[in-house]
Amino acid sequence: MPHAIKKASKKAGLSPGTLVYIGEKRTAKIKIDILGYDESDFVESTLASVSDCMPFIDQESVTWINLSGIHDVAMIETLGQQFNLHPLLLEDVVNTGQRPKMDDYEDYLFIVLKMLYLGQKHHEIEHEQMSLVLLGSRVVISFQEKEGDVFEAVRARIRKGKGRIRTKGADYLAYALIDSIVDNYFKIFEEIGEQIEELQEEVISNPRPETLQAIQGLKREMIFLRKSVWPLREVVSALVRGESELVTEDVRIFLRDVYDHTIQVVDTIETFRDMLAGMLDIYLSSLSNKMNEVMKVLTIIATIFIPMTFVAGVYGMNFKFMPELEWHWSYPLFWAVLIAIFISMLVWFKRKKWL
Amino acid sequence: MPHAIKKASKKAGLSPGTLVYIGEKRTAKIKIDILGYDESDFVESTLASVSDCMPFIDQESVTWINLSGIHDVAMIETLGQQFNLHPLLLEDVVNTGQRPKMDDYEDYLFIVLKMLYLGQKHHEIEHEQMSLVLLGSRVVISFQEKEGDVFEAVRARIRKGKGRIRTKGADYLAYALIDSIVDNYFKIFEEIGEQIEELQEEVISNPRPETLQAIQGLKREMIFLRKSVWPLREVVSALVRGESELVTEDVRIFLRDVYDHTIQVVDTIETFRDMLAGMLDIYLSSLSNKMNEVMKVLTIIATIFIPMTFVAGVYGMNFKFMPELEWHWSYPLFWAVLIAIFISMLVWFKRKKWL
Amino acid sequence: MPHAIKKASKKAGLSPGTLVYIGEKRTAKIKIDILGYDESDFVESTLASVSDCMPFIDQESVTWINLSGIHDVAMIETLGQQFNLHPLLLEDVVNTGQRPKMDDYEDYLFIVLKMLYLGQKHHEIEHEQMSLVLLGSRVVISFQEKEGDVFEAVRARIRKGKGRIRTKGADYLAYALIDSIVDNYFKIFEEIGEQIEELQEEVISNPRPETLQAIQGLKREMIFLRKSVWPLREVVSALVRGESELVTEDVRIFLRDVYDHTIQVVDTIETFRDMLAGMLDIYLSSLSNKMNEVMKVLTIIATIFIPMTFVAGVYGMNFKFMPELEWHWSYPLFWAVLIAIFISMLVWFKRKKWL
Amino acid sequence: MPHAIKKASKKAGLSPGTLVYIGEKRTAKIKIDILGYDESDFVESTLASVSDCMPFIDQESVTWINLSGIHDVAMIETLGQQFNLHPLLLEDVVNTGQRPKMDDYEDYLFIVLKMLYLGQKHHEIEHEQMSLVLLGSRVVISFQEKEGDVFEAVRARIRKGKGRIRTKGADYLAYALIDSIVDNYFKIFEEIGEQIEELQEEVISNPRPETLQAIQGLKREMIFLRKSVWPLREVVSALVRGESELVTEDVRIFLRDVYDHTIQVVDTIETFRDMLAGMLDIYLSSLSNKMNEVMKVLTIIATIFIPMTFVAGVYGMNFKFMPELEWHWSYPLFWAVLIAIFISMLVWFKRKKWL
Amino acid sequence: MPHAIKKASKKAGLSPGTLVYIGEKRTAKIKIDILGYDESDFVESTLASVSDCMPFIDQESVTWINLSGIHDVAMIETLGQQFNLHPLLLEDVVNTGQRPKMDDYEDYLFIVLKMLYLGQKHHEIEHEQMSLVLLGSRVVISFQEKEGDVFEAVRARIRKGKGRIRTKGADYLAYALIDSIVDNYFKIFEEIGEQIEELQEEVISNPRPETLQAIQGLKREMIFLRKSVWPLREVVSALVRGESELVTEDVRIFLRDVYDHTIQVVDTIETFRDMLAGMLDIYLSSLSNKMNEVMKVLTIIATIFIPMTFVAGVYGMNFKFMPELEWHWSYPLFWAVLIAIFISMLVWFKRKKWL
């Protein structure tokens, strides 16, 4: 968390609209992928520079320009000039600390989302900011922080002409991308759900301080996810309500579906939070239980042996006149009494359910 | 919970409107029950294939088509084509991870609900998704996950012509089905209420770690129920407000009644949650109480015997010059003093309410 | 609580509008009291059957029909037919599991309330459902679960012609009844307030597990009261806003007063909840305090005597060569040292505030 | 709290508009102060009876009638008749259990507030209900429970003609009174703030059960204050929004200022609540800390001396064949070993940070 | 916190509009900085008295008057008269206990903000109230509590003509100032985030009462920040919605950006609060863990040595007839048995995971 803040504080004092890349340091050359398609045809190509985009645009087809990197501020700026995008929009694109939002610039729609997916090395959740510009009815520009995304299935559908994507406009493409991102949240949840289940068993069978830290870690993850998803819900809701004319009635019905999913996502996060809170209660009560157990052992030992030690101490005294000491059966009797006390103690503990 | 998520994540990347059955694996052939009725007459039949439905429809009567299974995606698709239903609607039908909702497609109304009932083997709550399509004023199509439902009473009323159901349209039938589902929630609550009462006694008389886990289990169940019921309230509220023209003014008065029930359901869940939270407090404090008891036993034993053992130790010393050792009444006096200490200790503990 | 649920689950599957009495079993004959009055005159009589009501109605006066029982479903049904009341209304009347609500049937207004009063045997809060039908401007019908209510003062005012009640219409009568019910909530609160005060002293001076259970019991009572009162607030608010034309402007000013009271009631419940939550904190911390005290006793005893026992043990050893044993003043010195240790220990504990 | 409820329950069953004084018993004669002023002049006088007010009213000046007592119901009733006030208004005036509210009777505005100030004997917060009637544009009537108020500064400003008060109407006077009351809340907060600071030090340095009770007492005070202030906010907000025509545009700007203050008051209460909740956490954890300390002392003592006592016990045994007993250096060696153990134990505890 | 209250209570009873400086005592002469600029030119100067401002104003340029101090009430009053500002506005300016707000006086807009920055001596958060008057389209007056602010970057941009600030009106300047303040919040958060991280490590590795106090201290800081930021959000939101005509459409797009930042600020505060709450849980559970550890040491020692001491005690008894005492191998056997017990105990503790 403090990471995002550190990034944001870098910008304090700069003129608004000044492009400053705020995010993890990267040096890789930004990949520009372009994908144009209409009902009958499609072109795909990887461009060397932003200015190469323009020839693709003036066609009847839908064009999707995807940048896999936003750390080259100059390139973003050139792109912005070419498509006549507002400087504040570009500023938001290169600032990875954004929360999900939608800004309506009348001629184009700007959407910021958080893309989550599981890294190669399993168990690790990758966060990436994805900005989307829906430019009129024919062009979508998407900006990612780095290579690797959740859009392969969309690309496949475009290439193979499967489904209705090739017959629809840019708004449908934008919808498809948002839908992919939201659908991938469930994969993340599957992973987290498994971690929670493991922790749940651990917290019951063998609670350790590390368990508590893992619970707290997941709680923090949930806080982060909630921050990503709550505003997303509003974004999709605004799209469904048709606040922008760039999204056609037709596509809005599909977005209603995405909206249902975002609500499921929110619900799931709340459920996870409740489960984690419950686990904390179990953890704390299991600490008390362990203490109880320790104390019982101590009490049992002490309660049995302290009185017996006292008796032994009595007959270790050096009083001149102690008639028991002289009697021949004293010692065997001593043992008999002790063993009787010992057994009745055990019975008593048994009845108290301490043993 | 992670179950529903696992299901949803299966769909990531697919083209929207692609029908994918998401739910428990089933292979049974889907049963199609059809029930047609008007004021004077009724027909009932079980169909082999979806296409056999059509002859029933073009009559003056109300027709209720009920599918007891949604895992045969092809059949659902055929049905959708026959009644001209939107692909996204069908997609929702076969995805059992939906939350309750109402979608208005103008010509027809789509309602998703969660049907809860107690399984044969008592004590087990069965969850099933029930989708409902109110198609114009004459047709209702209902989709269930499997055979077995809570509608027997509705069927009986139709067959016997009891009540006003035979004199009313499809919207009344839809209302009757929703009403049945909501009424059955109370049966579930009765069951849960009894479990809570049992736990409440256990938590006071004999709190064990298992009790805590049972409390947590019920809390999770409540979270799940709340997720099912909150959106239901909105669905019924929307119907009552008359947002769709397919529901007549007349039926809306009855839906107002259902709305009252959903609020009672919500209230009951909140009450249960409060009770479970209270039980957690009792559990934790009873752990402290038990510890207190253990500690008291230890302290009593130690407080009585440690000083006495000290005294015995003193007279076990081997100093040459110890006048008490020589005196004849020393030993009886030793015992007298010890017993006096013992009794006064007991009195003190009694007064402190430790005994 | 599970009681009300048990009742509601009885109805599952029945045709809506079917009258089923849901509540405690009763067999007493239902008493029908009728009270007619205008500015100059009043009649009062107890009727044998519902049909005897009608002659009273067609007068210029206001008529109040009060049924002290709702378990005779047939009688309720007859009454409903006579006054042309909607079947759903009657269903609600005989179902004691309702939450407070107001339904506007245009010709008449239906109001459900919870009447609370202290039973004969002090300390016991009686709950009773009170339904009210305001029929046009001249008739009020009230349904109670059993004999005994909080309306005696209203009756006295009608009989004696005190206040403005005799000069006003049926809406004022309805207001007077609601006002009586709300005013009686404060009597209940007085009782509960005293119980809370007693508990508060107990929790500080002598916290026992029973105290905790009493606190939890009151918390549950609060949950129930809140469920009764929150919707009541909305009911009165709707009446004040003049949503029904049956309530005249004039009476609405009086209802505003009732509304203020319902808000006070809600406030009081929240205050009680806060106080009970605070008592729980005190209870739990007093458990810790008691444990601390027990541990201190143990620690003081052990800390004083264990070292002294060790010293005594040393001089009980049988080493051949132990010069101290031979010295004449060893034993008196031994005691002197022990007593010095003892006193300095006490001083140390005193300074640590353990004594 | 139960006090206010006790009062309210006294009224159950009475006809609405019946004046019943509900509050602390008082017998002092009610003081009636009248203050008339216009830009150039002012009169001040203390009246014997309510009817003496009238001559003052028919002037061009603003008249402020202040009653320092509301327990003489007959006097209030006479006043009400003279100024033609609604019976429900008078009922509210003499009922000290009101929450802050504003009732608009078109010709006049009725405002109920809670006046708080510190009593003579410092540290004690006095609560008093203050009702205000703004009667047209020239008359303000204020009702207090007893003598002593927070309006001296307002009176001084009128007498000296300081500020703009003499040039404005009755609505400005009403504003000035409300402003005085709200400003005095901050004095109360100053007092409470100091108490909280004292408690905060105590809870860290020397937590005792009394500290907990003091915290809980302040929490209850906060609950009460919140109940007084939340509705006040709505009252002032309604005045600012200009819901009544009796308040001129000009004065509304000043009321906006009061509104800002009420929000600060609400904020402060929330802050205090948060701080008190934090102190509870500290209290509870300090109990655990103290227990830890006690346990450490016990454990240190026991861990050092129990093994040493065992060793002494061994050489106190009476076995015939125990070679160590015979050896000359055994006893010095015994002490050397014990001291070595003792020191290494201390080092170990030191390293564990127990000492 | 009590500090701000103390300040506010000073004003009780004063006539509204009376200027009273409420804040820390200061004596430094107030610095008046004036900065005038248009697209081509800029003047900068430090004035001796307020009246020197006027010549700067009647130009075509934008003028920014900045007062670094508000404790000279007379100066503020003169300034108010010169620019014809409302007395209540001036009262708010000199009262440092304001919450952020915006008041629209039609001809000018009054905005109060909280400026936060890190003091010279690192780790210390400085709070300062910043009031802003946007006077028509050409003048901005800003009031600070003392010298030192977060506007250096804005001044630099004006001086160097960087960015678009020189080409825009006073509303853009006001925006730039607000933006600087909000951007600086992130610097504060960076600092706090680091403190939280340090605490998080400490609470796990070495929890001490001081750690708890540090956590509580940060929690209080969060409460204060939230009080500063929540209303700020509303202020910026009102500006974005265009409630005042003094803010042009053009600048509103930039304010939308600030609004996004304020929401990020709010989010961050909530995240910090959640993290601190989680740390409290860890702290409390680590106390239990430490207690568990202490108890284990005690129990292990006691469980091993108490039984062995008992055995030693037995053979220290002085019974005449004790055959073991005579046997030659008794003593070696005694040791053998004890060591066996010792080892098996250790194994048992190992298996219980106590060692």
Q: Is the pLDDT assigned to residue E55 strictly greater than 60?
A: yes
Contact flag C2-B190 (C-beta cutoff 8 Å): yes
Q: Are D148 and D211 within one domain?
A: yes
Q: What's the pLDDT tens digit per position in B278-322?
A: 888 888 888 888 888 888 999 999 999 999 999 999 999 998 888
Q: Token pair 């954004």 is at which residue?
A: A98
Contact flag B88-A254 (C-beta cutoff 8 Å): yes
Pairwise CA distance, residues C245 & B218, whole Å: 47
> Nearest CA of chain C to the CA of D229: how many Å?
12
E354 Cβ under 8 Å from any chain A Cβ: yes
Q: How many CB pairs under 8 A join B and C?
A: 178
- The percentage of residues in chain B with a pLDDT greater than 70, rounded to a whole number, is 95
Residue E59 has what pLDDT?
67
In a domain, D289, yes or no: no
Q: What's the pLDDT tens digit per position in E175-215?
A: 999 999 998 898 888 888 888 989 988 888 888 888 888 89
Q: Are E83 and E38 within one domain?
A: yes
SS3 category, B235? helix
Residue E262 CB contacts under 8 Å (≥ 6 apart), including other chains: E182, E229, E232, E233, E236
Q: What's the pLDDT tens digit per position in C59-114?
A: 678 999 999 989 888 899 999 999 999 988 998 899 888 889 998 888 899 999 99
Q: Which residues in chain A are contacts of B326 at CB distance < 8 A? A: 320
C46 Cβ under 8 Å from any chain B Cβ: no
E12 Cβ under 8 Å from any chain D Cβ: yes
Identify the CATH number of the domain in which residue C343 sits.
1.20.58.340
> Nearest CA of chain E to the CA of A290: how many Å?
8
Pairwise CA distance, residues E288 & E294, whole Å: 10
Q: Are B203 and B345 within one domain?
A: no
Identify the CATH number of the domain in which residue A204 sits.
3.30.460.20
Q: Which residues in chain B are contacts of C316 at CB distance < 8 A? A: 313, 316-318
Both structure tokens of D285: 């954890």
Contact flag E163-A16 (C-beta cutoff 8 Å): yes
D302 Cβ under 8 Å from any chain E Cβ: yes
Pairwise CA distance, residues D60 & D75, whole Å: 26
Which amino acid appears at position C236 of this protein? Answer: V
Pairwise CA distance, residues B186 & C10, whole Å: 9
In a domain, E296, yes or no: no
Q: Are D241 and D148 within one domain?
A: yes
Out of A153, A292, A320, the one facing B294 most closely (by C-beta) is: A292
Over its length of 355 residues, how does chain D's per-residue pLDDT go in tens digits?
445 555 556 666 677 777 888 878 888 888 899 999 988 888 899 988 888 888 878 767 899 999 998 988 889 999 999 899 998 899 889 888 888 999 888 889 999 999 988 876 666 788 889 999 999 888 999 999 988 888 988 999 899 887 788 888 899 999 999 999 998 898 888 888 888 989 988 888 888 888 888 888 888 888 888 888 888 998 999 999 877 888 998 899 889 889 988 988 888 898 898 889 888 888 888 888 888 888 899 999 999 999 999 999 999 999 888 888 888 888 999 999 999 989 999 999 999 888 7
Number of structural domains (chain A) is 2
Query: Chain E residue closest to A215 (CA)?
Result: E278
Residue C8 has what pLDDT?
58
Q: Which residues in chain B are contacts of A282 at CB distance < 8 A? A: 212-213, 216
Q: How confident is the model at residue A121 (pLDDT cuts 50, 70, 90)?
A: low
Which helix (H) or strand (E) element contains residue C69?
A: none
In a domain, B291, yes or no: no
* Percent of chain A as helix, strand, coil, to the nearest 5: 60, 15, 25
Contact flag A157-B306 (C-beta cutoff 8 Å): no
In a domain, A19, yes or no: yes
Q: What's the pLDDT tens digit per position in A169-222?
A: 899 999 999 999 998 898 888 888 888 989 988 888 888 888 888 898 888 888
Q: How many CB pairs under 8 A join D and E?
A: 177
CA dihedral E334, E340, E343, E344 (to 10 degrees): -130
Q: Is the pLDDT assigned to residue A29 strictly greater than 90?
A: no
Subunits with 3+ Cβ pairs within 8 Å of A are B, E
Residue finishing a domain among C227, C261, C284: C284
Q: Are E267 and E118 within one domain?
A: yes
In a domain, D77, yes or no: yes
A52 Cβ under 8 Å from any chain B Cβ: no
Q: Is C17 left (phi over 0), alpha (psi -120 to 50) or beta?
A: left
Contact D147/D31 with Cβ under 8 angstroms? yes
Q: Which residues in chain D are contacts of C153 at CB distance < 8 A? A: 12-14
Out of D180, D267, D314, the one facing E99 most closely (by C-beta) is: D267
Q: How many CB pairs under 8 A join C and D?
A: 178
Q: Are C233 and C338 within one domain?
A: no
Q: How confident is the model at residue C340 (pLDDT cuts 50, 70, 90)?
A: very high
Q: Which residues in chain E are contacts of D184 at CB distance < 8 A? A: 12
Q: What's the pLDDT tens digit per position in C116-136?
A: 888 766 667 888 899 999 998
Residue C34 has what pLDDT?
92
Q: Are B321 and B261 within one domain?
A: no
Subunits with 3+ Cβ pairs within 8 Å of E are A, D
DSSP-H helix ranges across chain C: 2-9, 54-57, 73-83, 87-94, 152-160, 170-205, 209-240, 249-314, 323-326, 330-351
In a domain, D295, yes or no: no
Contact flag B287-A286 (C-beta cutoff 8 Å): no
Backbone angles phi, psi at A113, to 5 degrees: -135, 165
Q: Is the pLDDT assigned to residue A1 strictly greater than 50?
A: no
Pairwise CA distance, residues E172 & C111, whole Å: 58
Q: Which residues in chain B are contacts of C8 at CB distance < 8 A? A: 183, 186, 261, 264
C2 Cβ under 8 Å from any chain B Cβ: yes
Which amino acid appears at position B1 of this protein? Answer: M
Q: Which residues in chain E are contacts of A219 at CB distance < 8 A? A: 274, 278
Q: How far is CA E84 from CA E36, E90, E104, E110, E171, in A?
A: 20, 11, 14, 13, 19
Out of D288, D305, D325, the one facing C310 most closely (by C-beta) is: D305
| Mean of all residue pLDDT scores within chain A | 86
D117 Cβ under 8 Å from any chain E Cβ: no
Residue E1 has what pLDDT?
41
> Nearest CA of chain B to the CA of C15: how many Å?
6
Q: Is the pLDDT assigned to residue B122 strictly greater than 70?
A: no
Q: Are B278 and B345 within one domain?
A: no
Subunits with 3+ Cβ pairs within 8 Å of B are A, C
Residue finishing a domain among B234, B265, B284: B284
- The percentage of residues in chain A with a pLDDT greater than 90, rounded to a whole number, is 28
- Structural domain boundaries, residue B62: 2-284
Provide DSSP, C193-256.
HHHHHHHHHHHHH---HHHHHHHHHHHHHHHHHHHHHHHHHHHHHHHHTT-STTS-HHHHHHHH
Q: Are C274 and C238 within one domain?
A: yes
Q: Are D46 and D183 within one domain?
A: yes
In a domain, D55, yes or no: yes
Q: Is the pLDDT assigned to residue B7 strictly greater than 90?
A: no
Both structure tokens of C239: 């009446």
In a domain, B290, yes or no: no
Q: Is the pLDDT assigned to residue E167 strictly greater than 60?
A: yes
Q: Are C126 and C65 within one domain?
A: yes
Give the residue-averaged pLDDT of B25-52.
86
Q: Are C205 and C262 within one domain?
A: yes
A54 Cβ under 8 Å from any chain B Cβ: no
Residue finishing a domain among C284, C306, C335: C284
Query: Chain D residue closest to C303 (CA)?
Result: D301
Tell me which residue of E59, E170, E173 sits closest to E108, measured CA to CA.
Answer: E170
Contact flag B318-C318 (C-beta cutoff 8 Å): yes
> Nearest CA of chain D to the CA of C163: how many Å?
6
DSSP A131: E
Residue E352 has what pLDDT?
84
Pairwise CA distance, residues D252 & D250, whole Å: 5
